[in-house]
Amino acid sequence: MVSSSEKVGRAERKAQSRQQILQAARDVFFRDGFMAANLDEVAEIAGVAKGTLYRYFESKADLYVAVLADNGDAFTERMHEAIASAESGIEQVEGIARFYHDYWIRNPQYFQIFWAIDNQSVIGELPPEVVSAVSQLWERNLSILSTALKRAMAEGSLVECDAWEVAQILWTTANALIQADATGPRRELRRLPLEQVFHDAVRYILRGLAAPGSRLFENP
């Protein structure tokens, strides 16, 4: 009969092995993307047999989704933390913008794991479960931004508008600016530091939606 302490020990070892696989997969996916990632290398880096890897994850897609979920949860939690002390909806939107810029600039490899989603016409169609996992992650974080925009409207800082549409515009603009920074000629054409252009873009969009008397009109 297996004792309770032995069961706990096995559970801890299984959890440790799973975490080792996730960390190894994260490194390989971030570096190579989904299509090029090699599960033999993932198993080798994790220090487990390939058969062991498949006991935890049924396929490459299953492992990819697990990595996305693990990182996505951490990203969402940090976004909430970034705006926890904000005293208004506008401060929340600005806090999200600062967080998003700083997070991706400090972790540029994270963009690699999403690159495949936007380039399926080039690399081939991805498994539906992968696309769904990414979409759910994007939707969850856009909902936080949308909620902040709705609060800003309720407080009278912004005119009434479609918060989800504005969240999409802000998010798409932010991603385009960050991704363009990886290309030398685009950096030269920008002429100004990315951080300045990034936050100017957010401010210009918000100013276009500012309600009369809003502090958004205070600075040009």
* Residues 16, 86 within the same domain: no
Q: Which two tokens stand for residue 117?
A: 């989603």
Q: Smallest Cα–Cα separation from 97: which of 133, 141, 139?
A: 141
Residue 196 C-alpha from the chain's centroid: 21
- Position 169 scores a pLDDT of 96
Range of the domain at 26: 1-57
Q: What is the pLDDT of residues 17-37, one digit of tens each?
A: 888 998 899 889 888 877 788
Residue 42, pLDDT score: 92
Same domain, 44 and 106: no
**CATH code of the domain containing 16:** 1.10.10.60
As a whole-number percent, the residues of the chain with pLDDT over 90 amount to 38
The encoded tokens of residue 83 equal 């705006």
Domain termination residue (choose one: 13, 40, 57): 57
pLDDT of residue 214: 80
- pLDDT given at position 13: 76
From 14, 42, 57, the end of a domain falls on: 57
Asked whether residue 36 falls in the same domain as residue 80, the answer is no
What is the pTM (predicted TM-score) of this model? 0.76
Q: What is the CATH number of the domain that holds 194?
A: 1.10.357.10
- Kindly report the number of other CB atoms within 10 A of residue 36's CB atom: 11
Q: Residue 163 and residue 60: Cα distance in Å, rounded? A: 36
Does residue 84 share a domain with residue 49? no
Kindly indicate the confidence band of residue 158, based on its pLDDT and cuts at 50, 70 and 90.
very high
Report yes or no: 167 and 146 within 8 Å, Cβ to Cβ. yes
What's the domain count of the chain?
A: 2
The answer on 159 and 76 residing in a single domain is yes
Q: Does 180 lie in the same domain as 96?
A: yes
Cα–Cα distance, 65 to 126 (Å, whole number): 12
Check residue 35 and give its pLDDT.
77
- 140 and 81 in a common domain: yes
Averaged pLDDT score across all residues of the chain: 84
The lowest-confidence range among 3-12, 34-43, 73-82, 200-209 is 3-12
Q: What is the pLDDT of residue 126?
A: 66
Task: Identify whether residues 103 and 149 lie together within a single domain.
Answer: yes
Considering the domain architecture, whether residues 122 and 142 belong to the same structural domain is answered as: yes
> Is the same domain home to 4 and 72?
no
Check whether 75 has a pLDDT greater than 90.
no
- Does residue 34 sit in the same domain as residue 112? no
Q: Is 206 found in the same domain as 119?
A: yes
Condensed to tens digits (0 to 9), the pLDDT of residues 163-199 reads 999 999 999 999 889 888 877 888 888 889 999 999 9
